[in-house]
Amino acid sequence: MNFQTMDYFVAVAEERSFTRAAARLSVTQQTLSAHIAGVERELGVRLLERRVPLSLTHAGEVFLGYARRFQGERRTMGREFMDIAGDQRGLLGVGIASTRGHMLMPEAVARFQELRPGIDVRLVEAENQELVELLRQGTVDLVVATVDADEPGLVVRELKRERVVLLVSEGLLRQLLGGGWEAVVREAERTGSVAALVDCPFMLLGRGDEPGDLSRRILGRSGVPLRPRVESKNSETLVELAARGVGACFVPDDLARAALAAHPGSDLRAIGLGPDVGISISLAWRASSHVWSVIESFADLLEEQVLAAV
């Protein structure tokens, strides 16, 4: 059993297929199968249920935890010695939601490449829950996401508070509410409730993303039934639909302002629901005996960028 064996098993566990894992590792299926069988003989247990689809036994799940921890320690060791040697090369994996990535990453990555030209950046876009899981697995080094400050095993630094607003076209409000639509908007802004908009078609993000969960909480406490007209994983898609009068969507204030600027001829309206309606966005990475200096450098750069934009 060695580091290579750990890498092989993690690939099989993640791909749930010897064929895909072998292609990912650039080895033959026979080599891969022989390594796994050797570990099973050494441990005296079966790690895999070899049927389609491939699955892990209880022993396999336990071994996967050890394998990922070994991988993390090996990565930490390598990066600590890179820092000691002053080696400014490597690959930084950053996880972020697609819309937030579109707004933050172009400037951040461009600036970072100037400061650390030997570091490549791999952006992984996913919903919030998946990002945290990818971080724990070691698939990414750093995430920009909603993460509890006391999340076990992670270092969490708050980056910003994202205020959330309701984006909707005035034409749709007029169609639904007639001449009294402006009074309804003022009431929503005063109370933070969208109860008076119960007949408005709402468009929501998925349940795995914090903005989507927040949207459902707002509708729930306002007594509005959860019957979304459209569901999507992409906030920008919902914004475009809102501009066409399809429905209303909850989006971060930064995105709403960008949408208003991008659609100067539209009648889009951003309805504020109060200062407390928002999402905490943090930077997070795995707690370790040594944190790669590149991770902290990128985190510092993002914090400076967000602070400068305030």
Six-digit token string for 201:
């078609």
C-alpha–C-alpha distance, residues 243 and 15, integer Å: 40
DSSP 249: E
| 17-68: pLDDT as tens digits | 999 999 999 999 999 999 999 999 999 999 999 988 899 999 999 999 999 8
Average pLDDT of the chain is: 90
Angle at 248 between CA 247 and CA 251, to 5 degrees: 140
C-alpha–C-alpha distance, residues 286 and 136, integer Å: 7
Residue 85 scores a pLDDT above 80: no
Residue 87 scores a pLDDT above 90: no
Contact predicate 130/177, CB 8 Å = no
C-alpha–C-alpha distance, residues 116 and 90, integer Å: 10
How large is the average pLDDT for residues 126-153?
A: 91
C-alpha–C-alpha distance, residues 113 and 115, integer Å: 5
Q: Could you give the angle at which helices 253-262 and 235-243 cross, rounded to 10 degrees? A: 50
Contact predicate 144/96, CB 8 Å = yes
C-alpha–C-alpha distance, residues 65 and 46, integer Å: 15
DSSP 150: T
How large is the average pLDDT for residues 200-207?
A: 89
This prediction's pTM = 0.76
C-alpha–C-alpha distance, residues 222 and 64, integer Å: 44
pLDDT-based confidence at residue 88 (cuts at 50, 70, 90):
confident
DSSP β-bridge partners for residue 55: 49
Which class for 123: exposed (0-12), middle (13-18), buried (19 or more C-beta within 10 A)?
middle
C-alpha atoms less than 13 angstroms from C-alpha of 19 in its C-beta half-sphere: 4
H-assigned helices in the chain: 3-15, 18-25, 29-43, 58-85, 98-115, 128-137, 170-177, 181-191, 210-221, 235-243, 253-262, 293-309
Instruction: Return the pLDDT at 206.
Output: 79
Residue 212 scores a pLDDT above 90: no
Residue 271 scores a pLDDT above 90: yes
Instruction: Return the pLDDT at 245.
Output: 93
The CB density around residue 86, as the number of other CB atoms within 10 Å, is 7
pLDDT-based confidence at residue 220 (cuts at 50, 70, 90):
very high
Report strand pairing: 154-169 vs 268-272: antiparallel
Six-digit token string for 232:
């999507």
Instruction: Return the pLDDT at 105.
Output: 95
List, in order, residues 6 or more apart from 132 with CB less than 8 Å away: 143, 145, 147, 151, 284
pLDDT-based confidence at residue 207 (cuts at 50, 70, 90):
confident
Contact predicate 164/211, CB 8 Å = yes
Residue 208 scores a pLDDT above 80: no
Max CA distance (Å), the chain: 77
